[in-house]
Amino acid sequence: DTQMTQSPSSVSASVGDRVIITCRASQDINNWLAWYQQKPGKAPQLLISPTPNLQNGFPSRFSGSESGTDFTLTISNLQPEDSATYFCQQANDFPLTFGGGTKVEI
Amino acid sequence: EVQLVESGGGLIQPGGSLRLSCAASGFIVSSTYMTWVRQAPGKGLEWLSVLFGGGDTHYADSVKGRFTISRDNSKNTLYLQMNSLRAEDTAIYYCANVIGKAGKTALGLYSSFYYIDVWGRGTTVTVSS
């Protein structure tokens, strides 16, 4: 199974800041990676899949990139509504595996 | 509107059984990949099982042999039968739809990839005596 290592586990930033979240896959996943946003008490929402394709409804300040087995979610110009937990998920094969999550606090 | 609504969660004693249901609307469960994902309190997401359109299934090692995924096409509903429940099964259980697509890799080869595009609101299972 592919292990996904996500960092940091939490980050506190100010409005307007840029936040970078990384995920590293334990093996080649053919660059197939998804990102989800989860707000408190809610189900996760698909944010990017596959990298770097941003889903409809999310602003362009969210972006995803990849380099080998390392993946990055960047939130530019952080806004209050971006406060959430973000998860990566390897999309290459079953079992689907998720990163541990990154809680973004404003 | 595409929607998934889970039900069947609750408080159950260790060793007990529970069946979760997931009613789908806006799409047909038998024509897509349906999956269950759980989230323990304050923890991350854990994928549990998938039911492919053709009927094949796949399970996470943590639930293999204890949980069974199935569907009722006439009710357009997905199920998760959970047996031999343990305290560590306490979580919110989400039903979700998996999209499977084919794309070109960096090497120019085509391969499949899978992501979750629709999630239910979840149902809470608490395993405790």
Q: Tell me what the pLDDT averaged over chain B comes to.
A: 96
**Identity at B24, one-letter amino acid code:** A
**Looking at the predicted structure, is the pLDDT value of residue B107 above 90?**
no
- Mean pLDDT calculated for residue range A71-90: 98
What is the 3-state composition of chain B as percent helix, strand, coil, each rounded to the nearest 5?
5, 55, 40
Q: Which residues in chain A are closer than 8 Å to B116, comparing Cβ atoms?
A: 34, 36, 44, 46, 89, 96
**Looking at the predicted structure, is the pLDDT value of residue A41 above 90?**
yes
* CA A8, chain centre distance (Å): 11
Does residue A95 have a cis peptide bond before it, meaning omega lies within 30 degrees of 0?
yes
3-state secondary structure of B29: helix
Amino acid A2: pLDDT: 96
Amino acid B93: pLDDT: 98
Question: Which tokens belong to A93?
Answer: 């094969």
**Looking at the predicted structure, is the pLDDT value of residue B111 above 90?**
no
Distance between CA atoms of residues B123 and B31, nearest Å: 24
Distance between CA atoms of residues B30 and B73, nearest Å: 6
Residue with tokens 């996760």: A44
Do B119 and A45 count as a contact with CB atoms less than 8 A apart? yes
Amino acid A10: pLDDT: 98
Do A32 and B103 count as a contact with CB atoms less than 8 A apart? yes
Residues A15-28 have pLDDT tens digits of 999 999 999 999 99
Residues B41-79 have pLDDT tens digits of 999 999 999 999 999 999 999 999 999 999 999 999 999
Do B105 and A100 count as a contact with CB atoms less than 8 A apart? no
Q: What phi and psi, each to the nearest 5 degrees, are found at residue B26?
A: 90, -10
Q: Quick one: pLDDT band at residue B90, thresholds 50, 70, 90?
A: very high
**Identity at B43, one-letter amino acid code:** K
Distance between CA atoms of residues A104 and A9, nearest Å: 9
Residues B24-41 have pLDDT tens digits of 999 899 999 999 999 999
Do B44 and A99 count as a contact with CB atoms less than 8 A apart? yes
Question: Which tokens belong to A55?
Answer: 């889903």
What percentage of residues in chain B have a pLDDT greater than 90? 88
What percentage of residues in chain B have a pLDDT greater than 70? 100
Residue with tokens 């990839």: B113
Q: Quick one: pLDDT band at residue B115, thresholds 50, 70, 90?
A: very high
Distance between CA atoms of residues A99 and A13, nearest Å: 21
**Which residues, at least 6 apart from B96, have a Cβ–Cβ distance to it below 8 Å?**
B4, B34, B35, B36, B37, B116, B118, B119, B120
Residues A46-70 have pLDDT tens digits of 999 988 999 999 999 999 999 989 9
Q: In sequence order, what are the beta bridge partners of B47?
A: B37
Q: Quick one: pLDDT band at residue A89, thresholds 50, 70, 90?
A: very high
**Looking at the predicted structure, is the pLDDT value of residue B104 above 90?**
no
Amino acid B109: pLDDT: 84
Residue with tokens 């031999």: B84
Chains A and B form CB pairs within 8 A to the count of: 70
B113 to chain A nearest CA, in Å?
5
Cβ(B113)–Cβ(A50) below 8 Å: yes
Q: Using only the alpha carbons of chain A, give its radius of gyration.
A: 13
